[in-house]
Amino acid sequence: MIVRPLPALLHRRRILALLGASAVLPFASACSAKPAAKGTFPIAKSDAEWRKLLTADQYYILREEGTERPFTSPLLKEKRKGTFACAADGTALFASSTKFESGTGWPSFWKPIAKAVGTSTDRSLGVVRTEVHCNQCGGHLGHVFDDGPAPTGLRYCINGDALVFRPM
């Protein structure tokens, strides 16, 4: 019997993403269950206004800090030049030139547009992670990790339903 190394597609992040999809997501959000901060951002709306404005999936992610299933976002394969913006308020968040294939199942970027996103500490799931939110509406976008490519070494792992794409 010949033992071969695992294919590159099965690297650590991909395995964790697949485990998260099968083990965690059906039972609980991958983020805390508290809603996004209210009244502390330039764009503030009532819960009823956000529900009217957003689809059910967008509301779950942006306002309840939910997570979409990996490999389900059409934006995962988006390759055109343009800008990825907040689905709640239209704020430009990430340039397409900073998008890369992370193998995790979520759109990933190595750098946000200056001052477009903020971060906070997420202690859900028994681990400490850095949550990423829109600086204008406070909507939950995803998380940032320190295993991304150069030049930043960061991986902004963002829910596709939290974004809209504006082609150039």
- Tell me the catalytic residues: 157
Query: What CA–CA distances, in Å, run from 39 to 46, 84, 100, 136?
Result: 9, 24, 33, 11
Tell me the two tokens of residue 116. 């477009």
Confirm if 136 and 117 have CB atoms less than 8 A apart: no
What is the DSSP code (8-state) at residue 66? -
CA distance 160 to 146: 20
CA distance 24 to 19: 7
Residue 50's closest CA among 126, 119, 140? 140
